[in-house]
Amino acid sequence: MSEPSRDAHPVPQGSKACRRLFGPVDSEQLRRDCDALMASCVQEACERWNFDFVTETPLEGNFAWEPVWGLGLPKVYLPSGPWGTRDNLGGGKRPSSSPVLLQGITQEDHVDLSLSCTLVPRSSEQAEGSPGGPGTSQGRKRRQTNMTDFYHSKRRLIFSKKKP
Amino acid sequence: MELLCCEMDRVRRAVPDANLLYDDRILQNLLTIEERYLPQCSYFKCVQKDIQPYMRRMVATWMLEVCEEQKCEEEVFPLAMNYLDRFLAGVPTPKTHLQLLGAVCMFLASKLKETIPLTAEKLCIYTDNSIKPQELLEWELVVLGKLKWNLAAVTPHDFIEHILRKLPQPNEKLPLIRKHAQTFIALCATDFKFAMYPPSMIATGSVGAAICGLQQDEDVSSLTSDALVELLAKITNTDVDCLKACQEQIEVVLLNSLQQFRQDQGDGSKSEDELDQASTPTDVRDIDL
């Protein structure tokens, strides 16, 4: 019993709620649709932030991306490299995890990049309203998901694609 | 050796925070942000080709059964339906994926709201193993991406305490009113008619319907029904006529569901045992119309 607490409510034997509603499920189609939707999420993010999150490359657009270093992040978030400085950052909350994490990732698995982005001011509709205001108009509403003008420290690990 | 702990079944809950419930700014903020989390369109008309309204009802009924059988917190089901509607408003989905989507939405809502969330394995069992935990986890990411990770949606439950504390009802009547209102909210979530209504209106209408329903049996309100509607409308800045219409729709949905329930009871195919498991129909039975 790995999870004794939720097992306070095991699925009752012969529960009527255990049923398939719309016939057999095609796993192949699920996988294809899942991949397509994930790709469209990536594409949307790419257009939204003019940043290619797969290759970690800034693209042309509203945001100006530039590399930043020395953000004082806990070392677990930092790449091992010239700006990683994993020795002089204190903390050490999880002494064992970070070296393992950093060593476990080979060069081809990830791209070292810390970026900040700034919204490039444009004329008319690009004027950025302060977030959190009462979203009444259509334009304001769309804006709620916006980040503030200054976006800190972007770093992602791209793990090598493994198809199961 | 199996050790039994008496505290095992007790879910730990925070006590109601008076600072949050008795501050009017909270209610005003909820009213300001609630519309951000509504589905963007009536998706049966403009997005979905394969999915019909009756299929939403099927998946919603199933989700409610699972939530009740698993004794989920009350908000989990309406929140999961909010995710489902927002996803379907944006992504054309074949009907064969609908149950998986419902399971993913419960998975997410349960994680957001519960101390001990539903597991992927358990949800897969509830789909009669038509999906695998791995698929559930992959689709979890898809749904999160399409919802832009905006999971902390406002639900009608967020308004209930704010409304109840402003009513002149005697305190000892509140638990019953609350319970009936929660039942109505769950009923509303199963019906697509209500999917585009602001949560505050559903909450206000549910409280109104609960008080009106109970009023026939016992004296729970010193107000006339018109005065009650006006007071409720004022609390959540809802238009009085809209609120009346909403409350009437809730009563219609309740009647339909009661009829359905009696039919199910009449055909004898369901055991009394099963009927007692589902708390909603049991509650509904208590209401004398």
In a domain, B271, yes or no: no
Percent above pLDDT 90 for chain A: 16
Q: Report how far residue B288's alpha carbon sits from residue B215's, in angstroms, rounded to the nearest whole number.
A: 10
Average pLDDT, chain B: 87
Chain B residues closer than 8 Å to A4 by CB: 5, 8
Query: Which residue range(s) make up the domain with B238?
Result: 156-264
Q: Report how far residue B98's alpha carbon sits from residue B110's, in angstroms, rounded to the nearest whole number.
A: 18
pLDDT of residue B223: 78
In this prediction, residue A91 has a pLDDT band, given cuts at 50, 70 and 90, of very low
- Among candidate residues B55, B284, B262, the one with its CA nearest the CA of residue B184: B284
Same domain, B191 and B208: yes
CA distances to A131, B30, B120, B205, B223 from A35, rounded to whole Å, are 32, 36, 20, 41, 57
Domain-terminating residue out of B88, B120, B147: B147
In a domain, B24, yes or no: no
Give the DSSP per-residue string, B57-96. Answer: HHHHHHHHHHHHHTT--TTHHHHHHHHHHHHHTTS---GG
Average pLDDT score over residue span A7-15? 84
ipTM score assigned to the predicted complex:
0.76
Same domain, B127 and B207: no
CA atoms A160, B92, B150, B99: torsion sign: negative
In a domain, B9, yes or no: no
Task: Decide: residue B14, CB within 10 A, 0-12 exposed, 13-18 middle, 19+ buried.
Answer: exposed
In a domain, B288, yes or no: no
Q: What is the tens place of the pLDDT at every residue in A27-50?
A: 999 999 999 999 999 998 899 899
Q: What is the tens place of the pLDDT at every residue in A44-70?
A: 889 989 999 888 889 988 888 888 776
In this prediction, residue B8 has a pLDDT band, given cuts at 50, 70 and 90, of low
Domains in chain B, number: 2
In this prediction, residue A79 has a pLDDT band, given cuts at 50, 70 and 90, of low
Same domain, B130 and B167: no
Q: Are B151 and B252 in contact (CB under 8 A)?
A: no
Same domain, B163 and B210: yes
CB contact under 8 A, B131 and A41: no
Domain boundaries, chain A: 27-77
Give this prediction's pTM. 0.74
Same domain, B45 and B108: yes
CB contact under 8 A, A22 and B99: yes
Give the architecture-level CATH label for domain A27-77.
Answer: Irregular (4.10)
Q: What is the tens place of the pLDDT at every residue in B120-156?
A: 999 999 999 999 999 999 999 999 999 999 999 999 9
Total residue length of chain B: 289
In a domain, B73, yes or no: yes
pLDDT of residue A61: 87
pLDDT of residue B249: 95
Q: Report how far residue B198's alpha carbon sits from residue B18's, in angstroms, rounded to the nearest whole number.
A: 25
Quote the minimal CA–CA distance from B153 to chain A in Å. 14
Same domain, B241 and B161: yes
Same domain, B89 and B127: yes
Chain B residues closer than 8 Å to A1 by CB: 2
Quote the minimal CA–CA distance from A38 to chain B in Å. 6
In a domain, B279, yes or no: no
In a domain, B30, yes or no: no
In a domain, B203, yes or no: yes
Same domain, B162 and B255: yes
Helix (H) or strand (E) holding B134: helix B133-146
Q: Report how far residue B158's alpha carbon sits from residue B168's, in angstroms, rounded to the nearest whole number.
A: 20
| Other residues' Cβ atoms within 10 Å of the Cβ of residue B59 | 23
Does A13 lie at the interface with B, CB-CB under 8 angstroms? no
Quote the minimal CA–CA distance from B82 to chain A in Å. 18
pLDDT of residue B5: 59
Q: From the list A9, A16, A20, which residue is nearest B130 (CB)?
A: A20
Q: From the list A8, A17, A30, which residue is nearest B126 (CB)?
A: A17
Same domain, B164 and B137: no
Residue tagged 């329930």 (tokens): B261
In this prediction, residue B169 has a pLDDT band, given cuts at 50, 70 and 90, of confident
Average pLDDT score over residue span B145-172? 93
Specify the 3-state DSSP secondary structure of B177.
helix
pLDDT of residue B72: 94
Domain-terminating residue out of B147, B174, B191: B147
In this prediction, residue A146 has a pLDDT band, given cuts at 50, 70 and 90, of very low
Task: Decide: residue B243, CB within 10 A, 0-12 exposed, 13-18 middle, 19+ buried.
Answer: buried
For residue B242, give the CATH number of its domain: 1.10.472.10
